[in-house]
Amino acid sequence: MHDDIEILLSAEKIAARVREMGAEITRDYAGTPVTLVGTLKGATIFLADLARAIDLDVELEFIKVSSYGNSTEGSSITLDFPFAPDYTNRHIILVEDIVDMGYTAKWLREFVAGFNPASVRLCSLLDKPGRRKAEGVEIDYLGFTIPDEFVVGYGLDFAQKYRTLPYVGVLRR
Ligand code: IMP
Ligand code: MG
């Protein structure tokens, strides 16, 4: 169907890595309940698989933010999703689809830290370190480092399209 997409990470490769990430989180938290906070909409597919690979009590929350601006000016982030769950005293794992310039991840970490959670870590399926602009963004659990290409699938979109592809691929237009 999608001749315009070159597969970068197959469904099998993603599934294997997501299982490993779940096992790593399970070991690190050793019986402690965790709260996964997924960023809408891109992280939903990854979060659904990751959550089921974690053998702990897992609670799910979602957040939606928008970023404005560009790489030269820096970006400003606004919260779109008006409900703010109480993250206080919970062990939070922020779940992102991709860390690109890094502004979103940085903003989310600071936002959640304001609630005095028990801990905050960042988990991302993908990282494009070649595009980083924000300083001090550390990814605690990372699926794959990818080259500086625009990718779609497994939750990631281009103009809301391609999110449901089972693989991650590069859009060739
Ligand atoms: P950042 O603030 O630049 O790190 O933005 C991260 C957000 O930009 C991600 O959550 C995605 O929604 C979007 N994004 C960045 N790179 C890509 C890509 O290659 N494909 C699809 N969306 C992307
Ligand atoms: Mg997006």
51-86 pLDDT tens trace: 999 999 999 999 998 887 655 555 788 887 766 789
The rounded distance, in Å, linking the Cα atoms of 7 and 154 is 11
pLDDT at 74: 57
Q: Which residues contact 122 (CB under 8 A, 6 or more apart)?
A: 93, 94, 96, 99, 105, 108, 109, 137, 138, 139, 140, 141
99 Cβ closer than 6 Å to some ligand 1 atom:
yes
pLDDT at 173: 73
pLDDT at 130: 94
Q: How far is the CA of 161 from the centre of ligand 2 (A)?
A: 10
The parts of the chain modelled with pLDDT lower than 50 are: none
pLDDT at 75: 72
100 Cβ closer than 6 Å to some ligand 1 atom:
yes
Tell me which residues are annotated as active site. 100
pTM (two decimals): 0.94
The rounded distance, in Å, linking the Cα atoms of 110 and 97 is 18
